[in-house]
Amino acid sequence: MWESQDNTDTRTRPESWSPNGIKRAKVFSFKDLATATKDFRSKLLLGRGGFGSVYKGQLKNGQDVAVRVLDKNTQQRDEDFVAEVEMLSPLHHQNLVTLIGYCCEPDHWLLVYEYMPLGSLENHLFDLHPSREPLDWNTRMKIASGVAKGLEYLHILGDRPAIFGDFKSSNILLGEGYHPKLSDIRMANFGRLCNSSDASTSVGTYGYCAPEYVVTGHLTPECNVYAFGMVLLELISGVKAIDKSRSPEPYHKWAQPIFKDSSELYRLVDPLLDGSYPVAWLHGVIGVADMCLHEDADRRPVIREVVSALTYLESEYNDPEKQCNRRGSKPPTFFYSSLRIKESGLEKEQKKQEFQGGICRYAADTGKRIVRIHNRMRPF
């Protein structure tokens, strides 16, 4: 968390105050943002989140933006604001929503993001509006892969490793061509435990929370992997993490027994796909989701392994000649034994070795062996 260089309370700092490390974020006045959102007109309201309301706006240069107004009653409001600005400003990745700027005035704290025209993934999966076409299989897998790469950047590739505090489908926004970006990223150490009575807390949402986080309140990269597994299952099924019309328990709790029967896996698939999906690819993705949702955090794959697995599955099955859409088809051989790359050539062999190396790694810090992903993919 950012610390001030003097003892001045952050709430008394002048308008020109700029927290350390956010030089790349533009400073807006409240008047500028009120003008951009037409005085925060209700028709421009995009949604409400754990930290406040989000409005669509247009800057003087014509750029569309999303403006988040932090609730005045939000506890730890100052800390939340400073932490998020400091954390988001240096983060730049094709699968993260860009923080454009902020407003920091005595009574007004706002964040300005790039505008994502297609809204959230949640809006494209559940209670689909009649004007919207359902997402096809390839688009769903494209979204899954992009989201995993965004998490990989946060966990591993960025200058400052970070953990997504509230990973869920409503915090995955879609741009042109259904390009996914993670939004509403926040510091992991702010917030309370997930619990069933408070479905959306300041960090974590019931249904996406890993079991160890519910017990300890300690957020880890493994918790993000668990939540990713839940989102992956939502992409496959079109069913919310929590669907009380089906069960008071999280969706995967009653879906997981189906994982064990390959002939029943089709029951997990969103009916809106109308059977248009490669069965072998489906089996593989369900296997990845199952691994991510493991009760034991140590037995979940790390996000880099998830990215490798999804990349491999896409390269292997995103081919019209391989897209068999009959649920009687058998999963690929490597789900039973060793991984095989059917394409020839030195480059493909190197890719195979890289993939195998990535999924059969040892965690130096714990000394615990990570089980081969291609063996654990097998949902049987």
Quote the strand ranges of 43-159, DSSP E: 45-49, 52-58, 64-70, 99-105, 108-114
- Is-catalytic flag, 319? no
CA atoms within 13 A on the CB side of 252: 27
Q: Which residue type, as a one-letter code, is found at position 195?
A: N
Q: Which of 32, 166, 184, 270 is catalytic?
A: 166
Query: Nearest to residue 268, comparing CAs of 238, 299, 241, 247?
Result: 238
Residue 371 CB coordination number (10 Å): 13
Burial class (CB in 10 A: 0-12, 13-18, 19+), 298: exposed
| Cα–Cα distance measured from residue 86 to residue 89, given in angstroms and rounded to the nearest whole number | 6
Residue 373 CB coordination number (10 Å): 23
Whose structure tokens read 């247009």?
A: 58
Q: Which two tokens stand for residue 258?
A: 């189906």
- CA dihedral (342, 179, 358, 296) positive or negative: negative
The catalytic residue positions are 166
